[in-house]
Amino acid sequence: MPSSTLSVTDNRTGKTYEVPIQDGTVRAMDFRKIKTSDDDFGLMLYDPAFTNTASCRSNITFIDGDRGILEYRGYPIEQLAESCTFLEVAYLILFGELPTAPELDDWVYEITHHTMLHENTKKFMEGFRYDAPPMSMLISTVAALSAVYPDATHVQDPANRMLQIKRLIAKMPTIAAMSYRHSLGFPYVYPDNDLSYTENFMNMLWKMVEPKYAANPVLARALEVLFILHADHEQNCSSSVMRAAGSSRSNPYLCVASAASALSGPLHGGANEEVIRMLDEIDSEAAIPAYIESVKAGKRKLMGFGHRVYKSFDPRARLIKEIAHKVFGVTGSNPKLDIALKLEQIALQDDYFVSRKLYPNVDFYSGLIYQAIGFKPEMFTVLFAIPRTVGWLTQWQEMISDPEQKISRPRQIYTGARQRPLPPIAKRESAASGA
Ligand code: CMC
């Protein structure tokens, strides 16, 4: 029987060490004992950007990047997108099992009855400039909720955690919709408890003077499926930020604001907005080859392409392409769709993209759908943040309940100067002179 260990010979000393292997993984701390002398600190592992480091054990989301598989709690994303509501999937992600009918009724009731914002929070939002980006308003307002709910600091109390989780899942659409209406100069619309999660969101976004808002069922379902596809994605950049921020026992509103800040960047959730800007810039199918050449020359990235984990296809992108057709059946096609399809076709035949395993990711087509439904590009990342809140909070719960987890605190390889004598001010050289 082969041993589940790794034999490591340190050629500096000639010593050999046995390092246990568990779940295809070695523990970084097992390398610390590899030293050249007693006062040597011991070997560290260097992994900028965590390209090959598992930071936790998790039973929430499974991804097989080579086969394009995504599962929440063991259920394939395709089946969840086909058959479930977003709140059903949120329950699954959070509690580990699909809800029974009475459990789902209670859960929907609970979330529906936490959708209101304190009037002071509304006033806080009114204070933003007329042209404030909705994502900035969302992040700041979620952080401000930590002042509305100071009890949220009791993060070791499971009941308290669950209350804040319900509040956050319920209030994200309300804050998002108010951010959107603010940017358009429209009065805010209060939640309507008769409506589903996505229908109510659409109501808060688009209700004008009609007494009751009625969402188009195809568009409401499309938004629901998009929310399901975005609900969690294991240890991505923003979820890792959520865990790191939460590891110091910060309250969940500030942790979600931190995670949403990470999401807003163009390499992560902000990519959907960038895809639309890119398609606008390309403008015509004839301009695609020149654009592709500039990408290959390293002048820019093809936004909505590539993924750290998926190396064959992103299953979410496949499902989104299907939704796009249903949405365009109602709204009429987005004129940029043809450019996007051609761009994908050309890129997938080009050795630059094929050899690097660069395929369309979730953000490549989602922006086209959002735009067809009627959203401005500034709102796209907000639409990502609403459902991802469920994933962030579940990752946070798992981290807090995991006895192996501690405050997140990586090491570094220090490359700067040491022990320099302090020069008097007259003898100092300006850092700018060397620049
Ligand atoms: N366009 C052109 N070249 C690319 C792209 C791209 N979109 N993505 C990666 N590459 C190249 C990269 O330059 C590198 O080439 P080389 O080996 O010659 O240096 C190679 O492919 C490997 O890329 P990497 O930078 O090592 O990959 P990564 O895992 O660090 O980055 C990524 C992943 C998603 C940040 C990156 O693919 C990217 O910037 N894509 C565009 C932005 C985007 O669409 N982001 C959304 C990601 S999915 C949803 C989400 O996370 O929110």
Please tell me the distance between residue 133's alpha carbon and the centre of ligand 1 in angstroms. Answer: 25
Please tell me the distance between residue 228's alpha carbon and the centre of ligand 1 in angstroms. Answer: 24
Please tell me the distance between residue 305's alpha carbon and the centre of ligand 1 in angstroms. Answer: 7
Tell which one of 307, 348, 364 to mutate to probe ligand 1, the residue whose CB is within 8 A of the most ligand atoms: 307
DSSP string, 137-199: HHHHHHHHHHHH-GGGG-TT-HHHHHHHHHHHHHHHHHHHHHHHHHHHTPPP----TTS-HHH
Please tell me the distance between residue 151's alpha carbon and the centre of ligand 1 in angstroms. Answer: 41
Give yes or no: residues 130 and 28 share one domain: no
Tell which one of 239, 308, 350 to mutate to probe ligand 1, the residue whose CB is within 8 A of the most ligand atoms: 308
Residue 356 CA: which ligand 1 atom is closest? 21
Please tell me the distance between residue 68's alpha carbon and the centre of ligand 1 in angstroms. Answer: 17
- At residue 1 the predicted structure's pLDDT band, cuts being 50, 70 and 90, is low
Residue 37 lies in domain: 5-46
Residues 6+ apart with CB under 8 A from 300: 294
| Contact indicator for 291, 46 with CB cutoff of 8 Å | no
Give yes or no: residues 235 and 273 share one domain: yes
Residue 305 CA: which ligand 1 atom is closest? 7
Give yes or no: residues 144 and 87 share one domain: yes
Give yes or no: residues 138 and 208 share one domain: yes
Residue 429 lies in a domain: no
Residue 270 CA: which ligand 1 atom is closest? 52
Closest-CA residue, ligand 1 atom 16, reads: 356
pLDDT at position 274? 94
Residue 392 lies in a domain: yes
The ligand 1 site (C-beta within 6 Å) comprises 236, 267-269, 271, 295, 301-308, 356, 358, 361-363
- At residue 432 the predicted structure's pLDDT band, cuts being 50, 70 and 90, is confident
Phi then psi for residue 298, to 5 deg, are 80, 15
Q: From edge to edge, which strands make up the β-sheet containing 15-22?
A: 5-10, 15-22, 25-26
Q: Evaluate if residue 334 carries a pLDDT over 90.
A: no
pLDDT at position 417? 97
DSSP state, 58? -
Residue 319 lies in a domain: yes
| Contact indicator for 59, 360 with CB cutoff of 8 Å | no
Residue 275 CA: which ligand 1 atom is closest? 44
Give yes or no: residues 39 and 81 share one domain: no
Give yes or no: residues 12 and 105 share one domain: no
Residue 273 lies in a domain: yes
Q: Evaluate if residue 435 carries a pLDDT over 60.
A: no
Give yes or no: residues 20 and 135 share one domain: no
Give yes or no: residues 254 and 342 share one domain: yes
Residue 306 CA: which ligand 1 atom is closest? 37
Residue 424 lies in a domain: no
Question: pLDDT, tens digit, for every residue of 133-143?
Answer: 999 999 999 99
Residue 336 lies in a domain: yes
Residue 369 lies in a domain: yes
Give yes or no: residues 20 and 165 share one domain: no
pTM attached to this predicted model = 0.95
Give yes or no: residues 9 and 88 share one domain: no
Provide the domain count of the chain.
2
CATH number, domain of 185, equals 1.10.580.10
Please tell me the distance between residue 308's alpha carbon and the centre of ligand 1 in angstroms. Answer: 7
Tell which one of 267, 274, 362, 380 to mutate to probe ligand 1, the residue whose CB is within 8 A of the most ligand atoms: 267
164: tokens are 């804040």
Residues 6+ apart with CB under 8 A from 429: none
Measuring CA to CA, which residue among 24, 92, 104, 22 is closest to residue 60? 92
| Contact indicator for 371, 334 with CB cutoff of 8 Å | yes
Active site members: 268, 307, 363
Give yes or no: residues 122 and 166 share one domain: yes
Question: pLDDT, tens digit, for every residue of 17-70?
Answer: 999 999 999 999 999 999 999 999 999 999 999 999 999 999 999 999 999 999
Residue 413 lies in a domain: no
176: tokens are 């998002």
Give yes or no: residues 138 and 198 share one domain: yes
Question: CB-side exposure of 140: number of CA atoms within 13 Å?
Answer: 16
Closest-CA residue, ligand 1 atom 15, reads: 356
